[in-house]
Every structure is written in structure tokens, then in C-alpha cells.
Amino acid sequence: MSFGDWDHLQNTATSASLSIGLELTNAIVGSGSLRVGFDGPGATVFNQSHSSHLNNTFTRGLTKGRIRTLWQLNHATAQNRSGALIYFMCDNLNPTNTATNAYVAGLQYSAVDTYLPVIAKMTGQFLDGGLSWQPGGSLVVINSASTLSLPITTTVPFQIEWNLDLAAFGGVRMTMSVGLPGDTNFSNLSVIYDVIDSSTPHTTSVIEGIGELWPQSSPGISLGEFSLWDSTGVFQLV
């Protein structure tokens, strides 16, 4: 899928802007990766978020689906609300600026060079730097897996499958898998969570995609820092 196949959004909480474009020099694989970062003006910015979902030429709003992606961290400043995520069962087209019902599955900052896999449930939340998906946060569905060591410039694959089936599961079944740090393909994915949300599950979906958060307060993201995304695939399951 090309850069133009996606609608790229960011929250408007501050006047500073993220840069969203292509990294052509040091792509994770192939000739280009999605690059999301901060290139000024200024030295740092916080309360920023990015999301990308396929544009309206594609089938969207999957109630049974899979998304997989490669993510590479290239910023040193972080805080416990930052991280990379996949969102799904999302009920509006602009989760960064509109109160949203959705699920997120991603890698949550835990400590320097360390990230924790987590699944969380948004109910009337914004996909922004204040999202309470950190350990102990009110939105967390599960975060009991071991943390991952992810030093800067280390790529990691991760994937989520979801299946809304009220008759079979009483809700939404979610299976999250993570590969090995340093992998640039999906050959070593291992299931780390297989859970069902049967407590007032979300049942409406209009989009799904990938996103990234930086916290509401310092340190945020600093000048010249960025992350790369690659090999993102969206699959409809039956």
C-alpha cells in the first residue's frame, strides 16, 4: 500500500505540527517507510498524536479483521503515555480530535528502551497524548505480558486480530501477537494475548488503522525525533 492510500491525521491540541511523510534514505524495508516525527519549529512538543487509516477507496470498518505492521523507534524522550498502536472497531473517522469508541493494541512506554504490550478500550476518549492506556490506566483491558527491550532504531513487528461475534463470544475476541526485536518481517510472531471483551463490547466500526502518541506534558517529542512504520497490512477476515 502506498502513502497516498492512507488518510493521515494528527491532533490539533497545540499549534505545533508533526511531520508525516516518507523516509526514503533509511527505510525499514524496500524503498520507503512512513515517517512520523517533529521537525520544528521549536525544540520540543507534547500532547501530540498521529493516526493513519485507509482512504475511502478501500473496504473499511471491519468487524473481523487483522492489522500487522513494523514499527521502529527513533526518539529518546518518552513518557508512560507514549507508544505505538493499532486501533480498530473505531466508530468515527477522526479519532485524534473526536470523542471515540475503539480498541487499541500497541506498545506502551514502560522505561528507557522498554515497552509493554497492551490492549485497551476507548469509550468516548480522544486518541491523544492523554489517553489513559498506561499501566494502571482506566482503559486497560490487559497488560500482563513481559516488557520488550526496544533500544532506539530497533524495529519490532506486531499484529492484532479481532472478531466481533456476540453469538460465539458474547463480545469481541482480540488476539495480539508480537515478533522479535530486530525482525523486519512477520515470521516470528508469537501470540501474547487472546482475550474477549464481553463487558459492553464495541459493536460499531467505520475505520481501523495505526497511530502513535506522545504525552500531554514534558518531555513529549523533541526536535528531529521520529518513528518509522512499514509493511502495514489490513486484512478482512471471514
Q: What is the pLDDT of residues 178-223, one digit of tens each?
A: 999 999 999 999 999 999 999 999 999 999 999 999 877 777 888 9
Residue 145 lies in domain = 3-236
- pLDDT tens-digit readout, 93-127: 999 888 999 999 999 999 989 999 999 999 999 88
**Confidence band for 177, pLDDT divided at 50, 70 and 90:** very high
- 234 half-sphere exposure, CB direction, 13 A CA radius: 21
Region label for 28, one of left (φ > 0), alpha (ψ between -120 and 50) or beta (otherwise):
alpha
* CATH code, domain carrying 137: 2.60.120.200
Pick from 130, 129, 196: which is nearest to 164 by CA? 196
**Residues listed for the chain:** 238
Q: What confidence score (pLDDT) does residue 51 get?
A: 94
The three grid cell numbers given for residue 186, joined into one nine-digit string: 512477520
d(CA 225, CA 77): 8
**In sequence order, which residues have a C-beta less than 8 Å from that of residue 146 and are 6 or more positions away?**
none
Domain count, the chain: 1
24-68 per-position pLDDT tens digit: 999 999 999 999 999 888 888 888 889 999 999 999 999 999 999
CA distances for 22 relative to 25, 33, 34, 108, angstroms? 9, 6, 5, 24
